[in-house]
Structure 1
Amino acid sequence: MKRMIITEVTGIVSKPMFRKDHFRLKLADKYLRKLYLPKKDIDNFNTGDRLRIEISEFGKQVIRITPATERIVSIISRKKEELPSASKRPYLQALFNGEPARASVLQVIKSLFIPTKDRIVSMLIIDINILVFVLMLLGGVSIHAPQGIDIVNWGGNYGPLTIGEGQYWRMFTCNFVHIGIVHLLMNLIGFVLVAYFLESVLGWKLFLFTYIFTGLLSSVASLWWHSDVVSAGASGAIFGMYGMLLMLLLTANKRTRTAFSGLTKTTLLFVGYNLLMGIAGSTDNAAHIGGLLSGFLLGGILLMTGILKKLVASKTALQNSPVM
């Protein structure tokens, strides 16, 4: 899926701060207000130019920029005139009879919790984690500071039981159990930042396999490092997602690395911050490192075998991806 924007160049900044090898186009469009492009292309644009810009469905990547000819503008204008009057109003107002605040809340809830075609697994994982936490609360577990025995009873990873009693299923279930509301919310935020994008690239089957595989290996790493400590949470599997994403970004061609530079910085910042928190002793760094490395290595194996290339060849999000 692609989106098309017709807009006008309102200004050109030849030397933007912090990006000396690029120039900045100022645009009249309220959604796409500016673009950073390689400096070698600066002579192709002038203030007042009308542009036809194709972007990916969620605005993650500019696919193509071409001049907006009179014919293209007239076709788009004619289509707008053919729309019924209700659809000319802002979408949220047309849908909810002028109650945009209510619409915004409902849209946010829907986008976070209701599975869609492109994000079915990531949505379900969010829902399962929340459902398990709600059931824990209904069972009398503290919302802020659960007891260790509560976490164990709900499937936490604990060496004497996981290994000593042969309860190996705990290495899987612990990925859906959280130690308090703050733990859950932080993991959900980290998950959303990577999952929606990565599932659209990998497809739901490989995405689900990556989540389960890295989650299991993070549990193994946690047991190996401190077998007598109760551990739980989705962070090991989430780090696996970031490991896979890092492999894709770091092995990308130059054009793709430039397009996704912001995502790369966000990923490195998230990983670095959480590893530092682990060094401070507040999180399970063994699980984090185990998940990160397993995701990174899995991504490398899939790239080398060509499996990933076949899976993402038709995906819009990475038409210029590292495996293309």
Structure 2
Amino acid sequence: MYPEPPAPTCFRHSNRPTGLACTRCGRPACAECLRPAAVGQHCVDCLRQDQRSAPQVRTVAGAPAPRSAAPLVTYALIAINVVIYAITAAQANSLVGDQRRSVLFIDWVLFPPAVASGEWWRVLGSGFLHFGLLHLVINMFALYIVGRDVELVLGPLRYIAVYLVSLLGGSAAVMVLAQNAATAGASGAVYGLFGAITVILIRLRRNPNAMLITIGINVFISLSLPGISLWGHLGGLAAGTLATVGILFLPGWLRVESPATVRLLGWGAVATIAIAALWIVVVSAITLTV
């Protein structure tokens, strides 16, 4: 009589005898180290190898598909705007629109002659200021409604890039066409996101009419009500739209297929719009000093 051979043990837990094995690699494994598969069961090592070798799922913009549906960048932008508004409201001792008494508001508001004198931070900083609580609530509501969808399609990095480029575009338009106005608010960036979501809908072959009507109504309001920066809105709309077109359509127009080149072209388009907006700001500042 020959002694029975010892029972195989789990390849990860040598103290656990097992009669099970991975149907892919054949190694013995305990129940804790196996996962159900279409045929049999696979060990955790084989599953990890499959995950590493599988191509990454990407959106139409070339961004990695988000693991979470939470629009974290949108939440962060809203939080930054709210915090800055709280600081200006505390400094001005007012919630209803008297932010001009705030030191931070005075230092950051977009006033083209001040930019021309060297205060370049106003070009971006003004996009995080608001004239009152109602102004803040309207812009943040629009940012939440539109921004979360744009973020999920473009991905966090492209989304924040389009947001900032839209803000720059709005400031550039103000520098050229509203040189005596004091302008503030996230509206230029939000209008850029209006343009971005419209381009996304067209790229996905969805009906963009609802967004086109929304943009038309908002432009009409900008024309009709005093004190609203029409040029800041239109500049942001143009910059955000063009940047998103560059991300979603330019590679197809150039018939580029390499994923790396597609991403490079998209970033190049965003950078081109940003450089153009900065160039307009610089030229306008120079003309104001002459």
**Do Structure 1 and Structure 2 share a fold, with TM-score over 0.5?**
yes
The structure whose RCO (Cα within 8 Å, separation 6+) is larger is 2
- Secondary structure of the 1:145 match is coil
Query: Aligned residue for 2:215?
Result: 271
| Cα distance in structure 2, aligned partners of 1:237 and 1:243 | 10
| Cα distance in structure 1, aligned partners of 2:94 and 2:166 | 28
Q: What are structure 2's unaligned runs of at least 5 residues? A: 1-67, 263-290
Query: Aligned residue for 2:110?
Result: 157
| Cα distance in structure 1, aligned partners of 2:175 and 2:257 | 30
Normalising by structure 1, we get a TM-score of 0.53
**1:284 and 2:237 equivalent?**
no
> Alpha-carbon deviation of 1:148?
4.0
- Secondary structure of the 1:218 match is helix
Q: Is the 8 A contact 1:136 1:154 kept in 2?
A: no
**1:140 and 2:92 equivalent?**
yes
Q: What are structure 1's unaligned runs of at least 5 residues? A: 1-115, 314-324
Q: Deviations over 1:55-113 (max 9, x none)?
A: xxxxxxxxxxxxxxxxxxxxxxxxxxxxxxxxxxxxxxxxxxxxxxxxxxxxxxxxxxx
| Cα distance in structure 2, aligned partners of 1:132 and 1:188 | 13
Q: 1:305 aligns with which of 251, 259, 262?
A: 251
Closer/same/farther in 2, CA of residues 271 and 310 from structure 1, 3 Å limit:
farther
> Which runs of structure 2 are paired with 1:48-87 in the superposition (5 Å)?
none
> Alpha-carbon deviation of 1:309?
10
| Cα distance in structure 2, aligned partners of 1:221 and 1:135 | 27
Closer/same/farther in 2, CA of residues 250 and 145 from structure 1, 3 Å limit:
same
**1:167 and 2:127 equivalent?**
no
Closer/same/farther in 2, CA of residues 146 and 202 from structure 1, 3 Å limit:
same
| Cα distance in structure 2, aligned partners of 1:238 and 1:309 | 32
Q: Is the 8 A contact 2:107 2:122 kept in 1?
A: no
- Runs of 4+, deviation exceeding 4 Å: 306-311
Closer/same/farther in 2, CA of residues 249 and 308 from structure 1, 3 Å limit:
farther
Which structure: greater helix fraction?
2
> Alpha-carbon deviation of 1:145?
2.3
Bigger Cα Rg? 2
> Which runs of structure 2 are paired with 1:11-90 in the superposition (5 Å)?
none
> Alpha-carbon deviation of 1:281?
3.5
| Cα distance in structure 1, aligned partners of 2:222 and 2:257 | 31
Query: Aligned residue for 2:79?
Result: 127
- Secondary structure of the 2:113 match is helix
Q: Is the 8 A contact 2:170 2:234 kept in 1?
A: yes
| Cα distance in structure 2, aligned partners of 1:118 and 1:309 | 29
Query: Aligned residue for 1:236?
Result: 188
> Alpha-carbon deviation of 1:308?
12
